[in-house]
Chain A
Amino acid sequence: MSIEFAGVSKFYGEVLGVSRISLAIPPGLTSLVGPNGSGKTTLMNLMTGLIQPSRGTISVLGLSPHDPERLFRKVGYCAQHDSFPRGMTGRSFLESFLSIHGYDAAERRRLADAAIEKVGLAAAAHRKVAGYSKGMRQRIKLALALAAEPEVLVLDEPLNGLDPLARSEVIALFREYAAAGRSVIVSSHILHEVDLISDRVIIVRNGSVAAEGEIAGVRSEIESRPHQILVRCDRPETLAARAFEQDHVVEVAMHNDRAGLLVSTRDAEGFYVLLGGLVLDGAIRVESVAPADEDVHAVYRYLVGSDEGVVS
Chain B
Amino acid sequence: MTGATRLRQAVAVARVELRRILFSRRSPALYLVALLPGLLLGARALALAIQGEQRAPDIAGATTAWAVIYQTFVMRFVIFFGCVGVFGNLIRGDVVDKTLHYFFLVPVRRDVLLAGRYVAGLIATTLVFCGSVLACLFLLYLPDGRGPALEYFTNGPGLAQAGGYLGVTILACVGYGGLFAVLGIFLRNPSIAAVGVLGWESINFLLPAFLKRFSVVYYLQSLCPVPVAEGPLAVIAAPASPWVAIPGLLVVTAALLAVGSWKIRRMEIAYTSD
Contact = CB atoms under 8 A, between A and B. Distances in A.
Interface in A42-84: 45, 48-52, 66, 68-73, 76-77, 79, 81, 83-84
A102 B9 CA distance: 5
A50 B268 contact: yes
Nearest to B102: A97
Given A83-B97, A100-B12, A102-B8, A77 B105 contact: yes
B270 interface: yes
A50 B265 CA distance: 10
B101 A100 contact: no
B213 interface: no
B98 A69 contact: no
Contacts of A83: 97-99
B106 A101 contact: yes
A50 B269 contact: yes
Interface string A28-50: 00000000000000000100111
Contacts of B102: 85, 97, 144
Interface string B1-34: 1000100110011011000100111000000000
Interface in B99-153: 99, 101-110
Contact of B271 (A52, A76, A77, A81): A81
Interface string B221-247: 000000000000000000000000000
A87 interface: yes
A97 B271 contact: no
B106 A72 contact: yes
B93 to A, nearest CB: 10
Interface size class of B (residues with CB under 8 A): 20 to 34
A99 B105 contact: no
A102 B109 CA distance: 12
B107 A72 contact: yes
A42 B15 CA distance: 32
Interface in A1-50: 12, 45, 48-50
Contacts of A48: 105
A78 to B, nearest CB: 9
Given A52-B266, A69-B109, A81-B98, A100 B25 contact: no
B3 to A, nearest CB: 12
Given A12-B270, A69-B1, A102-B8, A97 B24 contact: no
B12 A102 contact: yes
Nearest to A74: B107
Contacts of A84: 99
Contact of A68 (B5, B20, B25, B106): B106
Contact of B24 (A71, A79, A86): A86
Contact of A85 (B9, B99, B270): B99
A96 interface: yes
Contacts of B12: 99-100, 102
Contacts of B13: 100
Nearest to A66: B265
A50 B97 contact: no
A234 B64 CA distance: 108
A86 B27 CA distance: 13
B268 A52 contact: yes
Contacts of B25: 86
A18 to B, nearest CB: 14
A151 to B, nearest CB: 13
Interface string B70-112: 0000000000000000000000001001110111111111100
Contact of B15 (A69, A71, A79, A99): A99
Nearest to B16: A96
A102 B99 contact: no
B107 A101 contact: yes
Contacts of B271: 81
Nearest to A97: B106
A68 B108 contact: yes
A71 B107 contact: yes
A48 B105 CA distance: 8
Nearest to B104: A50
A69 B107 contact: yes
A250 to B, nearest CB: 45
Most buried by A among B12, B97, B104, B105: B105
Given A50-B101, A51-B270, A100 B16 contact: yes
A143 to B, nearest CB: 13
Contacts of A52: 266, 268
A69 B101 CA distance: 14
A49 B268 CA distance: 8
Nearest to B13: A100
Nearest to B106: A100
Nearest to A81: B98
A19 B190 CA distance: 34
B16 A99 contact: yes
Contacts of A85: 20, 94, 97, 99, 102
Given A66-B265, A85-B94, 12 more contacts: A50-B105, A68-B109, A77-B105, A79-B105, A81-B101, A85-B20, A86-B20, A87-B24, A99-B15, A100-B108, A102-B5, A102-B107
10 contacts: A50-B104, A51-B270, A69-B108, A77-B105, A84-B99, A96-B16, A100-B9, A101-B108, A102-B5, A102-B9
The 10 closest A-B pairs by CB, nearest first: A72-B107, A83-B98, A99-B12, A50-B269, A51-B268, A73-B107, A100-B106, A100-B12, A85-B99, A69-B109
